[in-house]
Amino acid sequence: MLTDEQYGRRIGDRLRHEIDDVHASPDLVRELRRRRTKRTWAITGAIAAPVAAAAVVAAAVSVQTTPTRSTTAAPPIASSSARPQIVNVAYVQAETVKALGQGAQYVIYSKDTYESGYYETWTDKATQRYRNDVYTRLPAATQSDRAADRKMTVPSGPPTPPAGPLHRQQSHAVKDLGESQEITTVDWENKWWSVNHLRDSKPQTPIPDPTDPDGMKKAVAEGKVELVGQEKIGAVDTHHLRVIGPQREYKIDLWVDSTTYLPVKETAVKAGNTQGGKEFPESKGEVITYTWLPRTEKNLAELTLTPPTDFKQMK
């Protein structure tokens, strides 16, 4: 009788004898190897994919958070208590009117350039005093109607061709005395000076003074305001506003400092229906620029007009 070990050995020998002539097809071996290789790469890819995805995300985050080279600093991250302000026309006009309300803290220097010359004005809103110097190429006869005009507007009608060299013709210093004004005039061309008193009268023009908060607030409320865009005036970044007056009486283009919201530059034109029926005829190059100076002793001294001792006083 065979033992278990002998019986197992005999079974094994018989099985080996039975399969000696059985061989796997070469194609089958290659297919098994190919499938094994493919499965290995699939498993490897499945493991590597999350790692690669994480690397891509990390790279994207790195690109987004790494500051680029720029001439301006990146804005601070807004917290829930300090959200970034949306700069639109409503915001810019509100900030401009608000800034003009602080005008009494400044001496305002403005320069109004037009075809035949220019005039400079220093204004102190706190005391309602102002002084201007008129520079022109025109003879004095065409300038006489400017002496009592607060804004020293250019005379209406066809422009007179420039004549002669640019020179300082007149200066005016005005004190507001309540119901009247005291106006000191120095005529540099004819060498005389005078002091006159007259009732305060606003210029006969619908165009508001862009440094007057009440006038601009009314113009904004009754007219139409557009935000043209952002522009650079010299070294100053500005917001360009366009104000169309009520009943479309005038158009003002106003550039305000994008930080202080105080006016930097202005062009204005009355409505018209001439030269091809244009609603707002092109300005004849008249431009007003503004500089907002601190109320120092030096800047306030610009409001004082002292006639030369050799000039004749006119009664």
Beta bridge pairs of residue 291: 109
Residue 315 confidence (pLDDT): 82
pLDDT at 306: 95
Pick among 2.40.50.100, 3.40.50.300, 3.30.420.40, 2.50.20.10: CATH of 90-314: 2.50.20.10
Give alpha helix (H) positions in the chain.
4-18, 26-65, 89-100, 213-222, 297-300
Residue 1, pLDDT score: 59
Q: Is residue 37 pLDDT above 50, yes or no?
A: no
Alpha-carbon distance of 270 to 252, in angstroms, equals 9
pLDDT of residue 169: 93
Inform me whether the pLDDT recorded for 47 exceeds 60.
no
Average pLDDT, whole number, for the chain? 74
Which residues are within 8 A (CB) of 300 and not within 5 positions of it... i.e. 6 or more apart? 107, 124
How far apart, in whole angstroms, are the C-alpha atoms of residue 210 and residue 204?
Answer: 16
The reported pLDDT for the residue numbered 134 is 95
Distances (CA, A) of 243 to 96, 100, 218: 12, 16, 11
- Confidence bin at 270 (pLDDT 50/70/90): confident
The predicted model scores a pTM of: 0.64
Per-residue pLDDT tens digits for 142-164: 544 444 343 444 444 445 555 67
Residues 6+ apart with CB under 8 A from 14: none
Q: What is the DSSP letter of 247?
A: G
Question: pLDDT category, 182, cuts 50, 70, 90?
Answer: very high
Give the dihedral of Cα atoms 301, 305, 307, 308; nearest 10 deg: 30
Burial of 175 (0-12, 13-18, 19+ CB in 10 A): middle
Higher pLDDT, 52 or 207: 207
- Greater confidence (215 vs 121) lies with 121
Question: Of residues 100 and 13, which shows the higher confidence score?
Answer: 100
pLDDT at 239 over 90: yes
pLDDT of residue 177: 74
pLDDT category at 114 given cuts 50, 70, 90 is confident
284 band by pLDDT with thresholds 50, 70 and 90: low
Of 135, 190, 133, the residue nearest 164 (C-alpha) = 135
Whether the per-residue pLDDT at 67 is higher than 60: the answer is no
Residue type at position 41? W
Residue-range domain boundaries for the chain: 26-60, 90-314
pLDDT digits (tens, 9 = 90+) for 78-107: 444 444 567 788 999 899 999 999 999 999
